[in-house]
Each structure stands twice: as C-alpha cells, then as structure tokens.
C-alpha cells in the first residue's frame, strides 16, 4: 500500500495538492516555534492569535509573543498584555507577551552595571558608553541581545509551543541573521581589546569604579552568553521538525511580491516554510467570472448608485482573483495556501478570534 501511495504522489491531480488549511501545523506535534510574518497591515497579528487559539485546543501550554514594536496583541485580545506572559481570558493554557528591544537593552545594561559596580559614570564612560559604542557600530546588536534575553526567558518556561507575531518582513529576516551580527560584535570587541589592551577597562575603572578587566569581562561574558543562546536557537530554527514560518499576505501585487522575497530569504536561511495565509479575500468561494456574468445580466435593472458600488466591488474581485491565481501558480504545488474571507467586522476579542480561527482549519469549500 505504501508503494502505491508513493506512486500516487506523482499524479498531479487536485487531490494531491496540499490541503488549503493550517491543519498540518496542528497535526505536527513536534513543532515548538511558529513564526508568522509578512508585510505591514496584512493581518499577521490576527493570524497569530487565531493560530494560538487553535493550538490551545491541541497543546498543553501555548505562548504568543509579539516582537513588533507596534504591539497589537492587546488590541486583538481586547485585554492588557505586558512584558511578562499574560494569561488570555477565556483560556486556561494560552498566554501572550509583548517585548521591546530598547527596554531590554537598558535592563541588560543596568544588570551589568550592578554586577561590575561601574554604574556611576556621569561623564559618559564605563558600561553605558561601551554599550552605546557597540550598538552604534554594529547595527542590529540591540535586537540580537534582546532576542537572546527573550529566548532565555522562554526556554526557562514550560511552553510546548511558541507563536511569534513578528515585525514587518525586514525585521523578521534580521532576526535570522543574528549569529552573523554577533560574530561581528565579537570581532569588534576583540579588536578593541587587542588594540587598547586594558585601556577601556582602566578608563571605566577610573571613572565608574570596578576593576579594569571586570567591565570588559562583563560585556564579553554577556555577548558570549548571547552567542551561545542564539547559536542554539538557530540550530532549532533550521530544524523543520521544530520550526516553521507561516507567510501572511493579501491579494495585491506588493504583498505577493514581498511574500516571494520572504520565501526566498527563508530558504536561504534554511528555515522551513510551507504555509501561506491570504487575508482579506472577497468571497473566496465565488469566481470573478461567475459574478461578472450575474452583474452583466442584472446591472440594467439596478439604480445608478447600486450599479457603481457593485462595479467597484467587481473590479476589486477581478484584481484579487488575478493575484490569488498567481499565488496558486507560484506556491500551489508545495504550500498550503489558505484563503481567509474579508469580513464585515474587525476580528477583535476572543470570541471573534475563535470563530475566525475555525476558517484557518476548515476553510470555505472552494469547490461548491
């Protein structure tokens, strides 16, 4: 039977195309990290929250983390969500948290100052200046360190799956290049250390207390720790059994183009991605041509305003169908492409999220 199944896979019938839903994510119980990403304004947060509510039915403990500086989780769930995991009302096993890179960096700086006693540097020496020197000379190091803090925190908790509601595309991809960024940071620090010997340390000690090597060691120690965590995390992220990336888009040119870029980048970083969610689709179950025929045969009997409204909707539907067609041409064979309808209301609050999330798992039947 297994052999027959294998041969069947080569017949490209509609039956063999990936199921147009996110059921595969619920069924893959080994998954620990699920990233949800795409261009700004395509519904990433709604998709993350819906995915979280569905996972909560199947897993013991689920965490949704927003790494987007414009935090929207609080808006989506209609409750205050903070920097610590906050239980979501109406669930026993779903929590959410919102993180902020700059605040994390300040906190890290304070903890290093306390550890080395080099905190009272009114005149810009010591740890604060060393940290700002580092963040200015290596773009992205602040996010990398903040991300490693987050991963450390999450690994100490017993969540069995974490959904990341990521920042718009560019940021997300930066997150994957952290190991490279950290290698640069190390190189730079070692270079400084060799060039100036104990000078950095002596200056900090002179102005801010703490022994010469202590300040340097603290910074190097923290970077070493960050690097170890991020290397470990990256190995996990490149394992398709543990990590997957859900691309979210809307049926418009820019969004489809951005998705293609995202898919290419993910494969370059070796990160598994086999799901695409297309949001804001007008009548996913109807075809533009059928609607067009209906409109042509009925428009003469319509009032002028009704005719204008319908014709605008028809133009939009035709445009969307064109891009949805392109999306299926590009990804239909390898990706689960899920079409989510444009609703008459916003998806806010647990009940609406729960209802909408059902469509991720049991999509509208396009064949009917």
| Per-position DSSP letters for 209-270, written without gaps between them | -S-HHHHHHHHHHHHHHHHHHHHHHHHHHT-TTTEEEEEEE-SSHHHHHHHHHHHHHHHHTT
46 neighbors 353 (Cβ within 8 angstroms): yes
Tokens at residue 248, please?
């979210």
* Active-site residue (options: 68, 104, 121, 321): 68
Please say if 68 is a catalytic residue: yes
Q: How far is CA 25 from the centre of its chain?
A: 15
Burial class (CB in 10 A: 0-12, 13-18, 19+), 367: exposed
| Per-position DSSP letters for 155-214, written without gaps between them | HTS--SEEEEEPPSHHHHHHHHTHHHHHHHHHHHHHHHHHHHTTHHHHHHHHHH-S-HHH
Q: Which residues are catalytic?
A: 68
């Amino acid at each position: 039977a297994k052999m027959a199944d294998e041969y069947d896979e080569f017949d490209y019938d509609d039956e063999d195309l990936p199921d147009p839903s996110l059921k595969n994510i619920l069924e893959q119980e080994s998954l620990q990290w699920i990233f949800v990403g795409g261009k700004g304004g395509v519904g990433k947060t709604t998709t993350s929250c819906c995915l979280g509510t569905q996972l909560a039915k199947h897993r013991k403990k689920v965490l949704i983390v927003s790494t987007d500086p414009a935090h929207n989780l609080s808006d989506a769930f209609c409750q205050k969500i903070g920097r610590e995991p906050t239980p979501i009302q109406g669930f026993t096993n779903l929590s959410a948290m919102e993180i902020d890179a700059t605040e994390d960096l300040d906190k890290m700086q304070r903890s290093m100052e306390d550890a080395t006693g080099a905190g009272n540097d009114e005149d810009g020496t010591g740890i604060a200046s060393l940290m700002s020197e580092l963040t200015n000379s290596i773009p992205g190091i602040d996010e990398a360190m903040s991300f490693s803090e987050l991963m450390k925190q999450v690994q100490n908790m017993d969540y069995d799956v974490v959904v990341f509601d990521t920042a718009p595309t560019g940021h997300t991809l930066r997150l994957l290049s952290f190991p490279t960024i950290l290698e640069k940071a190390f190189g730079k620090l070692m270079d400084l250390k060799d060039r100036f010997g104990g000078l950095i340390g002596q200056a900090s000690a002179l102005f801010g207390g703490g022994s010469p090597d202590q300040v340097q060691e603290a910074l190097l120690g923290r970077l070493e720790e960050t690097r170890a965590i991020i290397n470990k995390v990256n190995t996990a992220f490149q394992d398709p059994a543990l990590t997957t990336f859900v691309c979210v888009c809307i049926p418009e040119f820019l969004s489809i183009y951005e998705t293609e870029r995202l898919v290419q980048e993910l494969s370059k970083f070796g990160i598994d991605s086999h799901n695409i969610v297309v949001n804001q689709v007008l009548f996913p179950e109807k075809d533009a041509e059928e609607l067009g025929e209906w409109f042509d045969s009925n428009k003469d009997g319509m009032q002028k305003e009704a005719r204008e409204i319908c014709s605008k909707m028809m133009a939009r539907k035709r445009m969307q169908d064109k891009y949805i067609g392109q999306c299926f041409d590009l990804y239909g064979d390898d990706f689960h492409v899920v079409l989510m309808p444009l609703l008459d209301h916003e998806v806010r609050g647990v009940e609406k999220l729960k209802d909408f999330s059902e469509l991720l798992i049991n999509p509208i039947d396009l064949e009917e």
